[in-house]
Structure 1
Amino acid sequence: MMQVRERGFIPFVRQLGRGINAVRLVIINLVFFAVLAVVLLALLVGVAAHRQAATILNGSVLVIKPEGELVEQYSLDPLQRALSSAQGQTTGQIQVRDLIGAIDRAANDPRISRILLLPDDLSAAGFANLQEVGAALDRFRGHGKPVIAWAASYDQRQYLLAAHADRVLLDPQGSVMLTGLSNYRLYYKGLLDKLGIDVHLFRVGQYKSAAEPFILDHASDAAKAADSDWMGDLWTSYLQQVAGLRRIPLEQLRKDTEQAPEQISAVGGDTARLAMQGHLVDALATQQELVKQLRAQGVPAGRQGKSFRQIRMERYASLTRHSVGPADQRPGIAVVVAEGDIVGGEEAAGKIGGESTAALIRRAREAKTTKALVLRVNSPGGEVFAAEQIRREIELTRQAGIPVVVSMGDVAASGGYWISMNAQRIFADPTTITGSIGIFGLYYSAPAAIGKLGVASDGVSTGPLAGAFDVTRPLDPRVGQMVQAIINRGYFDFVSRVALARHQSYQQIDGIAQGRVWSGREALQHGLVDALGGQTQAIAWVRQQAHLPATAPLRYIEAPRGLMQRLAGSLGDDALVLAMDSSGWHLPGWLVQLNRLSRAAPGLGLLEQARAGRPNVYAYCQCQPQ
């Protein structure tokens, strides 16, 4: 019988569907086998990593070369870090706890003879985090092991770490630049006036200056006075620490920094010689001379008899890290990190979301293994409601009978203080930036701007709030009064809660609030914090409160990750990178860049969370010195 081939649109669609289904199956199979290959590779390389642990040879030098920004928590996801590391590129972030953990383990590791600190590529770090790392270096030295620092040049943040070394070396062409602190901002009023954009600022707090750039063309006298005060205290703390570590008279060190232009001119621009004269460094040496000195001190030669026996901090950390697994049900301390701007909703690690960070605290509270909680805060603040969501969880945790301590990092100001105030005890570094207890709101309108284009807005509404926040219309004075009332209430709530938490009267807190920024040392004097110290001291205190032994595990509570993220995290941090490095393999650069582009967020800071018709109230501090 003769077969008749179907023709027409329906058979074509049927064949197309079969083709699409076939392609779908092929893609699914490719993805499946790719995932399977990654899992097998992870297992194989993980075994290899364990074997490599034995390759840490006696007499090794732990080389610490931080590249990028010192952070409390990665803001890059594990896959992005893995891709960057596999490509041989820096991720631009160093997690403080990883660095400190490696230093502390090396202090008790007989295979590590000393530390070589190379801080040239440390691009950003707050003073409080530098203090934490510096304290770890001091503990390492306390075990009778030396720390040597070398750099082509030191800026003042890099030098604060180097000053903890037994011996500070500088390249003969280098310099040590202790410049002091500054806080300069751009002011946009002139530009906004030219564009015809009106900015309406609603605030409470004489010193609440975060939004001043939108309404002024210069810093207000109150802002300058407050900034001079807290920056002056931070700089004095810096000079005191360096002077103590380097055994230089404090006033001499201050004089040298203030007269640096004249002194550099006097030595004919030879900044290295000036650093020697000021006792900031112990000797001048090139990299080659550094290697010779280490060899002369008894450090064995490296591979093929070259350089010296060494291990990078990243590799050492991956080979010696001991994580607390889910099978470990011993009672312990939970740590939640709150770093970055505070915004509403869900945020990834390295940022603070009102809902997501509150959920982490709630998760820690509900875990049977949690007997104490540490909240590590490094935030200039943000949205008031998001901060309140987090504060409520802290309050509920204390009500559940779990001791809560806050450890303030580089900055815990405004909203950062809001989420801290209900802790049982607050620790701050002397150089922590805190306070800034104040509230503000911003609103933009642009009737003059569209008028310049020959456009006008007109119409009707059913009430005073209907269309009140239309940016094409001028702000109704009654609506302005309403917004100011909301801001006033926000400030009252803020001060009242602080007064209750700190066992002071409203008037006492209002006198030191008004949006004024304080250093950690000043905050202690005003009763805003309980003690000076870092995260180590905070953990020790809360461990005692919970009656936990020194061996009690420390668990960092972070957002759960999927299988691929966990694999990428483990691979990127250690085994895969080591294996690829040793084999000479690198991922193609375009893959790394594609991953970065796919995850880049065109964020506009706090204002990206704003919604039309909804008042956004902020407790935020523009108080990070340069």
Structure 2
Amino acid sequence: MVDAGSVVDLLKDARDRRNAALILEIDLTDGIMEGQPADPVSALLGMRRPHLRDVLGGLRRGRTDPRVRALIVKIGGQRLGLAMAQELRDAVRAFRDSGKLTVAWAESFGEVSRGTVPYYLATVFERIYMQPSGDLALTGVALEEPFFNEALGKIGVTPRFAKRHEYKTAANTFMERAYTPEHEEMSGRLVASAGEQVVAGVAAGRGLPEERVRELIDQAPLLGAEALEAGLVDKLAYRDEVYAEVRKAIATEPGEPDETARLRYVSRYNRTSGLAKRLPRPQQDAVALIQGQGPIKVGRSGRSAMPGQGSSIGSDTIAAAFRAAVKDDRVKAIVFRVDSPGGSYVASDTIWREVVLARRAGKPVIVSMGNVAASGGYFVAAPATMIVAQPGTLTGSIGVVVGKPVIGDLLDRLGIGLGSVENGAHARMFAPTRDFTEEEWTRVNTFLDRVYDDFVGKVAEGRDLSPEQVDAMARGRVWTGADAHERGLVDELGGLGFALDVARKKAGLATDAPVRTYPHVSPLDRLRPADSSEDRTAASARLDAWGPMSTTAARMGLPLGGPLMLTGNWSID
């Protein structure tokens, strides 16, 4: 028999829990995910990591929710990337401006490792706490680039690459023994621009002169006590002490901590709060969000070349997403999120065409750039209605490189014989076992000229610039978003949330108009055969989409991912 008193207590408890004050949390220990991965393996591996849209949506919702009193974010030495840190800074700043308490805490900002970007993120918070045993590795920004030419020569490998033009430095890694003047100039400016952004952000966040911040950077890494004395952190405290102080700060009774306040991860809060408002309404106009992450390749999106290295952008998948969004009368604008170092020229051109067709159909296309949107990643963005990037985004790299490592001498040194038969004068043109012939080298350079001219022409058309103006900024050069904005390669500086707001405005939608992800394919849809090439399941990620093994070399630095590939590890973190 049910006890009436127990039922009343349960209902009262449920009511109290529903009305209790909330302290929102974000744990960035494992970083943050750009969006839902295209393949099930990545989705499974990332289930417990916060997603960018959930974080942005939760913070936006929390700004006007009277139950939400504070935000605590755990920050460490994880690699976020400068642009992603700026994305989060924008969201936290808006949350803080609504009058809510914001607290960043870290066990350490770099334990014998880099901590500049994580700390830069922390400086947008009202309070910064660090564990007493932690250090502050605010050591600045650096870029190291190896040159393998001499080492390759010693083992009998001859790098044979051609590029367009002097700032397209992927080939330099293999063709040169040190920086060329242009390579050093470009890399130096990237580091300087990123450093300027970090110094300005830290100075503004901590109320210090920029010159003082530069002095502290040159003194770092700092012990916890030194960071406290310099005013870079507010207190040295353990986790329990941080949470106790936050509860005390939000208490309604002075001096008494609010032990009833509930903790809630921002992602969880965003998915459960206001659920009724977010239930799909089929006839409601919306913004489509198409997300492209990783190297660009022909075919379907899926895993990139090596396990554990994230997703790739498949031209079939992205093209199908654009077609679905264009055909959907409810979609009034499209936001294309690009976080890619580029890759295949042909695949990039396929996606470029769909962006053009979407605009011709009368739907504004807003590109939102992540940490990197360069080379092929810029190619696909060029025809957009508007390009939005963070100041720390790496973009541009309007150029092309192609070639191969010739390993014939290496095989001879190893005593490996090689027999070959061929039918066709150029049947072994791309084989690494022999060099290009003079005629083949002419064809390689003809290809490079065609791709570069096409790239420059399409950027000029999309950006409303002359080919000569684009060429002066192109030639393979990588820019930060801040520098690209000054040169007209980027229209506005901001993040994904800003891009979605712009899309709503350009489409004449309400400020809270829903966002729908394209293509949306259910697990059941993945299993059924597609009816045609325009069926939404036709371009879904394959379960075994690890990528061709030949691109393993690309992950090692060889530009085999495509002629529009920004090779190497391009991330400011």
Q: Which residue of 2 aligns with 1:173?
A: 133
Amino acid at match of 1:146: L
2:292 aligns to what?
338
* Partner secondary structure for residue 258 of structure 1: helix
Question: 8 Å contact 2:20–2:261 — kept in the other structure?
Answer: no
What is the CA-CA distance between 1:80 and the residue it aligns to? Answer: 6.7
Report the CA distance between 1:511 and its aligned residue: 1.1
1:99 is aligned, of 55, 79, 92, to 55
State the shift of 1:534 in Å.
Answer: 2.0
Report the CA distance between 1:213 and its aligned residue: 2.0
1:549-570 C-alpha deviation (Å, 9 max, x unpaired): 223211121351313989xxxx
Q: Which residue of 1 aligns with 2:572?
A: 625
1:208 and 2:168 aligned: yes
1:494-505 → structure 2 map (5 Å cutoff): 494-505=455-466
Matched, 1:197 2:157: yes
- Cα distance between partner residues in 2 of 1:599 and 1:389: 20
Q: Is the 8 A contact 1:348 1:559 kept in 2?
A: no
What is the alpha-carbon distance in structure 2 between the residues aligned to residue 239 and residue 523 of structure 1?
Answer: 19
Give the alignment's TM-score, normalised by structure 2. 0.83
Which is richer in helix? 1
How far does the alpha carbon of each residue in 1:267-309 deviate from its partner, in whole angstroms, 9 at most, with x for none?
A: xxxx1121122211112222333244234335599xxx98974
The AA in structure 2 aligned to 1:346 is R
State the partner residue of 1:164. Answer: 124
Residue 214 of structure 1, CA deviation = 2.2
Please give the per-residue CA displacement for 1:557-591, whole angstroms capped at 9, x wherever unaligned.
1351313989xxxxxxxxxxxxxxxxxxxxxxxxx
CA distance in 1, matches of 2:29, 2:47: 8
1:225-263 Cα shifts (integer Å, max 9, x gaps): 1011022111101211121121111111012102336xx
Higher alpha-carbon deviation: 281-290 or 199-208:
281-290
Which residue of the partner structure matches residue 117 of structure 1?
73
CA contact (8 A) 2:70 2:250 kept: no
| 1:484 and 2:445 matched | yes
SS at match of 1:124: coil
Residue 169 and residue 425 in structure 1: after superposition, are their counterparts in 2 closer, same or farther (change >3 A)?
Answer: same
**Are the equivalent residues in 1 in contact too, given 2:104–2:128 (CA < 8 A)?**
yes
Q: Does 1:540 align with 2:501?
A: yes
- Measured against aligned partners, the alpha-carbon deviations of 1:149-202 in whole angstroms (never above 9, x if no partner) come to 222212222222321221111222222221222222333334432332222101
Alpha-carbon contact 1:427-1:532 (below 8 Å) kept: yes
SS in 1 for 2:78: strand
Whether contact under 8 Å (1:96, 1:129) holds in the other structure is no
Kept in 2: contact 1:341–1:606 (CA 8 A) = no
Matched, 1:310 2:263: yes
Q: CA contact under 8 A between 2:319 and 2:351: conserved in structure 1?
A: yes
Where does residue 474 of structure 1 map in the other structure? 435
Q: How does 1:450-469 map to 2 (within 5 A)?
A: 450-457=411-418, 461=422, 463-469=424-430
The aligned counterpart of 1:67 is 29
| 2:57 is equivalent to residue 131 of structure 1 | no
- Residue equivalent to 2:346: 385
Query: SS at 1:515's partner residue?
Result: coil
Cα distance in 1, alignment partners of residues 399 and 274 from structure 2: 42
1:445 shift after superposition: 2.5
Structure 2: give runs of 5+ residues left out of the alignment: 1-12, 110-114, 304-310, 528-542
SS of corresponding position for 1:351: strand
1:320 paired with 2:297, answer no
Letter in 2 for 1:72: E
How far apart, in 1, do the equivalents of 2:564 and 2:272 lie? 44
Q: How does 1:219-230 map to 2 (within 5 A)?
A: 219-230=179-190
Cα 1:461–1:603 change in 2 (3 A) is closer
User: How far off its partner does 1:444 sit?
Assistant: 2.7
For the 8 Å contact 1:300–1:309, the answer to whether it is kept is no
The 3-state SS of whatever aligns with 1:508 is: helix
Which stretch has the larger CA shift, 373-382 or 321-330? 321-330
SS at match of 1:69: coil
The amino acid that maps onto 1:311 is R
Aligned to 2:5: none
Structure 2 letter corresponding to 1:236: E
Partner of 2:401: 440
Question: Matched residues in 2 for 1:96 and 1:316: separation?
Answer: 14
Give the 3 Å change call, closer, same or farther, for CA 458–172 of structure 1 in structure 2.
closer
Q: How many residues align?
A: 524
Task: Sort the Cα spacing of 1:394 and 1:601 in 2 relative to 1 into closer, same or farther, 3 A.
Answer: closer
Is the radius of gyration larger for structure 1 or structure 2? Answer: 1
Q: Mean Cα displacement is larger for which, 548-557 or 512-521?
A: 548-557
Kept after mapping to 2: 8 A contact 1:132/1:534: yes
Moved more, 507-516 or 348-357: 348-357
Who is 2:237 aligned against?
285
Q: Secondary structure at the match of 1:536?
A: helix
- Superposition deviation, residue 381 in structure 1: 1.1
Give the 3-state SS of the residue equivalent to 1:548 in structure 2.
Answer: coil
The alignment's TM-score, normalised by the length of structure 1, stands at 0.77
* Aligned residue among 480, 499, 522 for 1:519: 480
The one-letter amino acid paired with 1:286 is: Y
Q: Distance in 2 between matches of 1:598 and 1:353?
A: 14
Q: Identity over the aligned pairs, expressed in percent?
A: 30
